[in-house]
Structure formats: structure tokens, C-alpha cells
Amino acid sequence: MSQETLRARLKTLPCHFTWDLDGSRSRLLFLRDDLKDIGTEEGYLWLGQIYNLLAYVHYQLGSRDDSLGSTVDDALRCFYIAAEAFRQIRNTVSDEGPWLVVNYGNLAWVHFHMGELARSHSYMVKVELLLQEYPSPLPSELHQEIYAEKAWTLMMFGPDKKLQAVEYFKKATQMEPNRAEWNTSHALALATTFEEAVPEQEAEILLKLKLAKEHDLENLHLAAIYLGRIARQGKVIEDEARLLANRVLKKPVGSYSGIKPLLRLYRTHASLDEAIDLADEALERHPNERYMKRCLASCYKWKIFLDRDCLLRQSLTDRAITLHQEVIALYTHSSLPTTITLANLYAESSHHDKTQAEQIYRELLESNLEQGDLQMLHYNYAKYLNYYLQDRYKSIEHHMKAAEIPYPSKYRKSSIKILTQIKQRQKNKMCGEIEDFLANLQEFDTFHANNNLLRLHS
């Protein structure tokens, strides 16, 4: 078989390499840390999918830049761990099963990229045989195991992939309704995709969360999400929240342990001080967990930026600065948002002058950032200039720089919204310049949208 024929057949395999995932360096670095923070305690039902995706991330990073802490060997190791995790979770010693399709497809691609065509072909054949032996219950559809893994994977790639994830989880649960972890993930996908839902949709989400919770009693992350959702309906949840907090504190810490949505619940429906106390206690119990330190730093950030009348403001700011410095050291390759927050904390502090904040922003602006990160930076710097330095004109310039980067994000939308509001008020000397800028931007966006439509139909 020629290399091109092999490549063509590999493109038909359902796996991470064919799912059109965001391969930007920034997204992959953030994702690597997110996956490590989930935790990999034995028995976790998504362990195979975690290692599959972590392996893919290691490969994408390691094949581009050997300074990012990932290698192709790391990828292969994680793919083999993923296969073993699937076997243990399914309680089988067999190398067969539809849950191994994605894993083998990934390995086929890795060996192809390594130039090991015979091994690539071998894994490709394994995938094709598994697809024949375990066909989908529905014609022209993927097997439910593949839909579930694809949905779980897409959930990790940001808001623009979540609608697809919801649809794939729906298909998987329709084919196999009694899989508790799939129903849980479907409910969580709905809840995180539709944070602000219309009443009818909200009722459906609450029902799915409730039913999933009844069948997945040990899932404290799900319980915290559900509690937060019913609290928004005006239900009194203080006693339930404290009982849940006691359960969460006894469990290993991870991003799906329930601690983050529980802290959000405390922050929103109790108090920021209670959220800090809970995070402090969790960190005392798990002093070596970097994720817990990240959560505590976030609590202090919200306390400082939301509670402007706090009497202990400076001591809290000093603590927040120390925590953010520690978090940056723990998340070396994915620390941009934390570094931006640190700059703003320096600006809030009476123990530091604004030059430290300015120095951080200046160094970030001079660094080599990808489009999405650069856009986020310009947006935050614009807000900093306006709020802390009252430099309105320079702030407008950086909102323009954020808006002109053709990367779809909430930062771009927010900068465009702010510029539009300034133009409408007609009180700024730059109104004419802003009007011309927005008109050109709209023309640019329309042109590219039309081009994308043409590509889709061609």
C-alpha cells in the first residue's frame, strides 16, 4: 500500500486526528494542564478517554517543539495506558471492543507520522475489523462508544464545540440509555452549554441534572452543578451546600471533584468569605494539590475585585499576589490569564506602584503570542488602561487591536461592544475614528463570512 493510499484510509478513521480539533499551541497547553487536574484515581470511568486525549495533546506538542515538556514517547505511553484503562474499566483482558476504536485509530496516525507505515497499517486494520464486528445500532451512525468519546473530547475544547458535544452525547444515550456516566456527561454538557437558558429549556436541563444525579450518587461535581442551578431558581440551599462541602473535602481534589462549582455556589449564593474559608480548608487538607491552590487564588481574586469596601483589603491583596505568583510557577505553560490577573492585583495594591503592573503588560505585549491569547491580552490591557490609569485614548487603541484580530472570542465581542457604545455616546474625540474602524471591520467580517460559505458549498 502506498503512503498516499494509507493516508486516505486513515482519514476515514474516527479518532482525535480526524475530529477537527483546535490544534493551537495555547489551547493544547491549557488542555494538558486541565487533563492533569482532573485526576486519574483508579476507577474513574472516563480514565481511558482522559489518557487518549492527553496522549493526543502530548503528540501535537511534542512533534512541534521539544521545549514544551511533551514528547512523542509521552504520547505513546499515554495511548498504551488508555488502552489498559479501558480494559480494566470493562473488566476484560481482550484487545477487542468498540471502546478501543479511537485508541487504535490514534496509534495508526502516530505511527504514520513517525514513518512506521507497517505498524500504522496494522492498527488501521484493527480499527476496520472492530468497526465491522461492532457496527452501530443505527445505520449511517457511529457506534455509541465512539459518539460518547467524541462528545467528551469536544467538551474539553471550549464553548464553540459544546453544541456538537451535546448532540453526540444525546445520540450515545439514545443508543444505550442505561450508561450512568453518559447521562451525567450529557446533563453537564447541557448545563455548561446553556448557562443562560429560556424557562422551557431550563426546566429540561434541571430535569436531566436531577435524573442523572439520582443514578450517579457519588458524582459530587454533578451534585454541585445541580445545587447551583436550583439556587438560581430561588431555592434555599445553604444546608445542602454545607453537607456537600463536607463530602467534597473528604474526596481527592481534582477539577471534577466538585470543589470548583461548589466555590462558585458559595460565592454567588452565600459569601465570598465563606468561599475563601472553604478553599483554605481544602488546601490545608490537600497542601500539595496545585489545582486547589488555583481555586483559592481565584477566590481571593473575586473578593478583591468584587468587594470594594473590604476593611482587610491590603492584607487580602498581598495574599492574593502571593497565591497568583505560586500558581504561575505551577502552571508554567498556561499561566497567561493568571499573569494578567497578577498585573491587575499589583495595580490594586497600595504596597506596589503601577510600574510593576505596567512591566508585566509590557513584557506580555512583547512576547510571541498566538492570535487568541494576543486578543485576550489587548482586551484586558484596554480595561486596565481605562480603569487604573484613566487613559481613555490608549484604552480605545487596544480595544481596536483586540477587535481587529480575526479570532472569534468573547474578548473580541466585548471590545467591539465597548467601541460601539463609545461611538454612540458621541463624547469622545475618537468617535469619528471609531466609526470608520467599525465600518471597515464589519466589511472585513462580511467578506470573510461569505468566503467561508463559498468554501463550505464548494
- Within 13 Å of residue 184, how many CA atoms lie on the same side as its CB? 19
Fold: same for 3-134 and 369-458:
yes
Q: Domain locations in the chain?
A: 3-134, 369-458
Residue 243 CA to residue 259 CA, distance in Å, equals 13
Q: Return all residues near 190 (Cβ < 8 A) that are at least 6 apart.
A: 166, 204, 205, 208, 209
Share of the chain above pLDDT 70, in %: 97
Cell numbers representing residue 96 in the block: 477487542
Grid cell for residue 332: 508554567
What would the pLDDT profile of 235-244 be if each residue is shown by its tens digit? 989 999 999 9
SS3 annotation, 6-68: HHHHHCCCCCHHHCCCCCCHHHHHHHHHHHHHHCCCCCCCCHHHHHHHHHHHHHHHHCCCCCC
338-366 pLDDT tens trace = 999 999 999 999 877 789 999 999 999 99
- pLDDT of 456 above 70: no
**Surface-to-core class of residue 269, CB atoms within 10 Å of its CB (0-12 exposed, 13-18 middle, 19+ buried):** middle
Q: Minimal CA–CA distance to 39: which of 333, 285, 253, 249? A: 253
Give 305-337 pLDDT, tens digit per residue: 998 887 788 899 999 999 999 999 999 999 999
Model confidence over 146-196: pLDDT tens digits? Answer: 999 999 999 998 878 999 999 999 999 999 999 999 999 999 999 999 988
What number of other Cβ atoms are within 10 A of residue 100's Cβ?
24
Percentage of the chain lying above the pLDDT 90 cut: 80
Distance separating alpha carbons of residues 437 and 429, to the nearest angstrom? 14
Q: What is the pLDDT of residue 283?
A: 96
Could you please state the CATH topology (level 3) that the domain comprising 3-134 is classified under: 1.25.40
Measured CA to CA, the distance from residue 78 to residue 73 in angstroms comes to 9
pLDDT confidence tier of residue 451, bands split at 50, 70 and 90? low
- What's this model's pTM, rounded to 2 decimal places? 0.92
pLDDT value for 7: 97
List, in order, residues 6 or more apart from 209 with CB less than 8 Å away.
187, 188, 190, 191, 222, 225, 226, 229
- Identify which of 319, 293, 236, 230 has the alpha carbon closest to the alpha carbon of residue 270: 236
- Please state, in angstroms and rounded to a whole number, the distance separating the CA atoms of residues 122 and 167: 32
Assigned CATH for 369-458: 1.25.40.10
